[in-house]
Amino acid sequence: MLEILRSVQDLTHPSPGCMGCWLSEEEFSNSHVRYAEQWESDEALSAHIRSELYRRVLAAMELSKRPPEVHFYYCSETKGFEVIEAARSKARLPEAR
């Protein structure tokens, strides 16, 4: 399963619209494998899911000893430094007079 996901990662990362691709294996009481991709648009993600390459991801999921968990996270808004400024300005105590 890891070999399949590594091959997908290597081929997916340079794909148009792919912003990142990560694979990690964690040891707890049982092995956990996490595979994540970040896409710049719904269209790019949909094209990837329809691709032959994505069939390898599905094949890797079929090899799982437990039912795989699949999550798609969407963000509707991106913010930058203004979040830090707003949070830090709320934390400041008013000056004593």
CA dihedral over 64, 28, 23, 75, signed as positive or negative: positive
Burial 2-25 (b: 16+ CB within 10 A, else e): eebbeebbeebeeeeebeebeeee
Beta strands in the chain (DSSP E): 18-27, 31-39
Q: 2-91, which class in CATH?
A: alpha beta
49 pLDDT tier (thresholds 50, 70, 90): very high
Question: Which pLDDT value is given to residue 32?
Answer: 84
Within 13 Å, how many C-alpha atoms sit on residue 13's CB side?
10
Asked if the model's pLDDT at residue 90 lies above 80, the reply is no
List pLDDT tens digits, range 4-33: 999 999 999 899 999 999 999 876 556 788
Give how far the C-alpha of residue 76 lies from the chain's centroid of Cα atoms, to the nearest Å. 16
Show me where the domains of the chain are located: 2-91
Tokens for 81, please give them: 């430094």
Neighbouring C-beta atoms of residue 47, cutoff 10 Å: 15
pTM reported for the whole predicted model:
0.73
